[in-house]
Amino acid sequence: MTDGNTRISKETEFIINWFRKHYERSPPPPPERFGRREFGFMFFDRDFVQRHVAFAKANELTSFLISQVPAHVYYSSAYYELPSASTMDEKGWLGADLIFDLDADHIKGAETMSYPEMLAAVKKEIMHLLDEFLMGDLGFGSREIKVVFSGGRGYHVHVSDERVTSLKSHERREIVDYITGTDLSVDWVFPADPFEKRQFKHVTKVGMSRRFPPANSAAWRRRFRKGTELLLNEIAGLSVEAIKDRYPSLRSAPDHLIEKMLDDLFTKRGEIAGKDNLFENDTLEIFSSDKARDLFIKFLFEEIKSRMAGQVDEPVTSDIKRLIRLPFTLHGKTGLLVVRMDRDELDDFDPLRDALPDTFTDDPIRLIVNRKIDIKLRDERFALDGEVEVPLFAAIFLLCRKEAVLTR
C-alpha cells in the first residue's frame, strides 16, 4: 500500500489502522493555551516532518489525527501570537513552559539493560530530579508540575509557572547547571579558613583549615553531608586495593596516602571515632596531614557530585521553542500512550501496564517474532519464540518495535 509517496508494509498498514481507531475512540485532550501552541507531526508513510501547524479548536486536532494518523505528535513548549507562521520570527514568542527531558541515553549502563530495566532506571532518576531539585531546592509545587511518560524510553517534566515562562535560554541553562552541579566548587562546599601555624625558631606560616557542611545545611551542601555518611559506611573496612577498584577518583592516588586517610578516619582515634568527630564538630581537621585531608575532599567532591546530581538533557531545557510529545497521543515506535500524571501518581506507574491503551483489546493476533522474547505487558508474561498468538495490545507493541511481523 502507498499514499503516493512511500510504500508501506502490511505491518505498518495494520498499525495505522489501529492508531486511527484509537484516535476515533479516545482523542487526546487539548493542552493548556491550546490556540497559542505550534504542532508538529511525523508519519508512518511519509518521509518529512510537518510543523508550523496550529488549531483553533480541539476537534480540528482530532480530525487531523484521524485523517492523517501520525506516528508521533508534538506540540510547542512555547506560546506564540501566530503559532502557524512559517518562520520563528513571525510567530511572536510570548513565553514557554520549562521542560526537562530524561531518557535512557542519560543512564549509565543503559546499553546493557532490557527495555523494562531501562524504564525502571529512568523512572528512578526522574523521581530524584523531582524530589531533590524541582520540588525540593527550586520549590515548585505540585500544581505547577506535570510528569509525562514519553511513550518510549523516558519521561518529561513540564513546569507551568509564571515565574519561569519568560525565562530565556541562558537562564534555563543556569537551572540545568545547578541541577547537574556544573558550577560547584570545592571551596564553596568545604570552605577554607586561614590560621597561623607557629613553626621552628618563631617562624609563623599561614595554614588553611577546611570546614565540613554543618547539620543544618541545605541544597547541595546537605547532599554532600548525606553523601559523606554513605561513602564512609561504604569504605569502612575496605582494603586500599578494593577502594581503588571501586572508586575511580582514588585510582591515581598513592597507596600510602590512601592508607593514611583511612587511618585518620577509622583507626587512629579508635574505630570510626574520626568519622564521628567529623560530623560532631563540622571540621576536617581530624587528618594528620594536609595531603590526606585534601585527598579525602577530592574523593568526596567527585564521588558525591556524580551520585547526587540530577540527570537532564540540557538542550531540551534551554530550548525555548522546543517541540515536545503531546500527552495522550501514541508513540509510533512502541504503540504506548504518552501519559501525563501528577507526582504522586508516578510511584505506582508502570509503563508496560499503564501506558498500554485500553482501545487495544485482547483480540488474538498471529505473529512471527524475530527473536526469543520474554516480557510482561499488562501484568501478563509473554515468553515468545517463532510463530505465536498474542493479544492485540501485545501485537501492536511488538510490531511498532519491529520485533515481529504478521503471519502471511
Q: Which 3 state secondary structure label does DSSP give 46?
A: coil
In percent, how much of the chain has pLDDT > 90?
A: 79
Q: What is the pLDDT of residues 368-403, one digit of tens each?
A: 999 999 999 999 999 999 999 999 999 999 999 999
Listed in sequence order, the residues at least 6 apart from 44 whose beta carbon sits closer than 8 Å to its beta carbon are: 8, 12, 15, 16, 69, 70, 71, 332
- When comparing pLDDT for 153 and 198, which is higher? 153
101 is catalytic: yes
Q: How far apart are CA 151 and CA 143, in angstroms?
A: 23
pTM summary value: 0.90
Q: What is the pLDDT of residues 152-180, one digit of tens each?
A: 999 999 999 999 999 999 999 999 999 99
Write down the catalytic residue from 45, 264, 294, 313.
313
What are the angstrom distances between the C-alpha of 107 and each of 127, 247, 259?
A: 14, 18, 33
Q: Which three cell numbers stand for residue 162?
A: 509564571
Going by C-alpha positions, the residue among 324, 378, 33 that lies closest to residue 151 is: 324
- Would you state the pLDDT for residue 192? 83
Q: How far apart are CA 190 and CA 265, in angstroms?
A: 17
361: left (phi over 0), alpha (psi -120 to 50) or beta: beta
What is the chain's Cα-based Rg?
27
265 neighbors 277 (Cβ within 8 angstroms): no
- When comparing pLDDT for 290 and 255, which is higher? 255
Per-residue pLDDT averaged across 65-73, rounded?
98
Q: Which 3 state secondary structure label does DSSP give 248?
A: helix
Angle between helices 273-281 and 219-235 (to 10 degrees): 170
Q: Which three cell numbers stand for residue 61?
A: 486536532
- Band of pLDDT at residue 273, cut at 50, 70 and 90: very low
- Would you state the pLDDT for residue 290? 86
Which domains does the chain carry?
Answer: 10-179+313-359 (3.90.920.10), 186-308 (no CATH), 363-408 (3.40.5)
Greatest distance between any 2 Cα atoms in the chain: 96
Q: Is 110 exposed, middle or buried (0-12, 13-18, 19+ CB in 10 A)?
A: middle
Hey, what amino acid is at 363? D
Going by C-alpha positions, the residue among 98, 149, 174 that lies closest to residue 353 is: 149
Write down the catalytic residue from 45, 101, 264, 319.
101
45 is catalytic: no
Written as one string, the DSSP assignment of 94-152 is: EEE-EEEEEEGGGSTTGGGS-HHHHHHHHHHHHHHIIIIIIIIIS---TTTEEEEE-SS
Angle between helices 290-308 and 219-235 (to 10 degrees): 110
Tracing cell 513565553 back to the chain, one arrives at 95
Task: Give backbone dihedrals phi and psi of 250, rounded to 5 degrees, phi first.
Answer: -110, 0
pLDDT at 1 over 60: no
Q: b/e map of 59-77 (b: 16 or more CB within 10 Å)?
A: eebbebbeebbbbbbbbbb
Average pLDDT over all residues of the chain: 91
Q: Which 3 state secondary structure label does DSSP give 402?
A: coil
Q: What is the pLDDT of residues 292-338, one digit of tens each?
A: 989 999 999 999 999 999 999 999 999 999 999 999 999 999 999 99
For residue 164, the 8-state DSSP code is: T
103 is catalytic: yes
Write down the catalytic residue from 45, 103, 294, 319.
103
353 neighbors 385 (Cβ within 8 angstroms): no
Q: Which three cell numbers stand for residue 13?
A: 498498514
Torsion sign, CA atoms 57, 63, 65, 67: negative
